[in-house]
Amino acid sequence: DGGITQSPKYLFRKEGQNVTLSCEQNLNHDAMYWYRQDPGQGLRLIYYSQIVNDFQKGDIAEGYSVSREKKESFPLTVTSAQKNPTAFYLCASSTRIELFFGSGTQLSVL
Amino acid sequence: GQQVMQIPQYQHVQEGEDFTTYCNSSTTLSNIQWYKQRPGGHPVFLIQLVKSGEVKKQKRLTFQFGEAKKNSSLHITATQTTDVGTYFCAASNSGYALNFGKGTSLLVTP
């Protein structure tokens, strides 16, 4: 079954802790993305990667980091520098037209 | 990134009524996409519009791209409870990264 898998579905972060959200795709897409969704704010772009070993900052990259060591994987680390991390995080991959989204990770702060 | 403004933020209709959401940009767009997110779900691609003045239909949904390629609309005829969700427009000037509007949340009462 082709698609995008995000894990975990729910994640809790303690003060000062870094956490990593997983995103894996088997669609053979070159491009992958991370978006943050807050209620009433739509989707805001955090990072994107057009090809392995390359990625670019989006509009709200501060406090986040990514890696793209494999075509299938694009993990997002929410660092302790991100002071307001509570949000719904969506990973996506893309043909040159549409985005395919994973089912998301809800991150909350303890 | 490319800014798109979407109105209204919320819309509550009776089943059978029509619904329209609008997406506006201050600059010319190369294309525009529409996505639907059901409550608790992830965004799903509906359509892409590319040409000036383009009109596309999907059953009860009609999508339009303005002549100046600065605005777009999604119209649903005779809403059903299955239409409930948030509708997003998204645009990019070029390249891979899409910027999303804040979305219009549609509630349909039976």
Contact check, Cβ <8 Å, A102/B42: yes
Contacts of B88 in chain A (CB under 8 A): 42-43
Task: Give the Cα separation of B105 and A107 in Å (integer).
Answer: 22
Q: How many CB atoms are closer than 10 A to CB B9?
A: 12
Q: Do B45 and A99 touch (CB under 8 A)?
A: yes
Nearest CA distance, A58 vs chain B (angstrom): 8
**Beta strands at B10-14 and B104-109: parallel, antiparallel or unpaired:** parallel
Query: pLDDT of A5-56, one tens digit each?
Result: 999 999 998 888 999 999 999 999 999 999 999 987 889 999 999 999 999 9
End-to-end C-alpha distance for chain B, whole angstroms: 39
Could B96 and A41 be called an inter-chain contact, meaning their C-beta atoms sit closer than 8 Å? no
Report helix, strand or coil for A9: coil
Q: Which residue of A has its CA nearest to B40?
A: A103
DSSP secondary structure, B19-86, as one string: EEEEEE-SS--SEEEEEEE-TTS--EEEEEE-STT-EEEETTEEEEE-TTSSEEEEEESS--GGG-EE
Average pLDDT of chain B is: 94
Q: CB contact, 8 Å: B48 with chain A?
A: yes
Contact indicator for A108, A87 with CB cutoff of 8 Å: no
- pLDDT value at position B25? 94
Per-residue pLDDT band at B1 (split at 50, 70, 90): low
Percent share of chain B, pLDDT over 90: 87
Question: A31 to chain B: which residues are within 8 Å by CB?
Answer: 96
Place of tokens 């894996």: A24
Question: What is the per-residue pLDDT for A78?
Answer: 96
What pLDDT sits at residue B3? 82
**How many interface pairs between A and B have CB atoms less than 8 angstroms apart?**
53
CB atoms within 10 A of CB B84: 15
- Inter-chain residue contact B96 with A31, CB threshold 8 Å: yes
Nearest CA in chain A to B4: A42
Among B32, B98, B99, pick the best mutation site for testing chain A contact (most A Cβ within 10 A): B98
The stretch A61-73 carries a mean pLDDT of 97
| In the predicted structure, residue B93 carries a pLDDT above the cut 80 | no
CA-based nearest residue in chain B for residue A6: B42
Confidence of residue B2 (pLDDT cuts 50, 70, 90): low
Reading the block at residue B95, the tokens are 């390249």
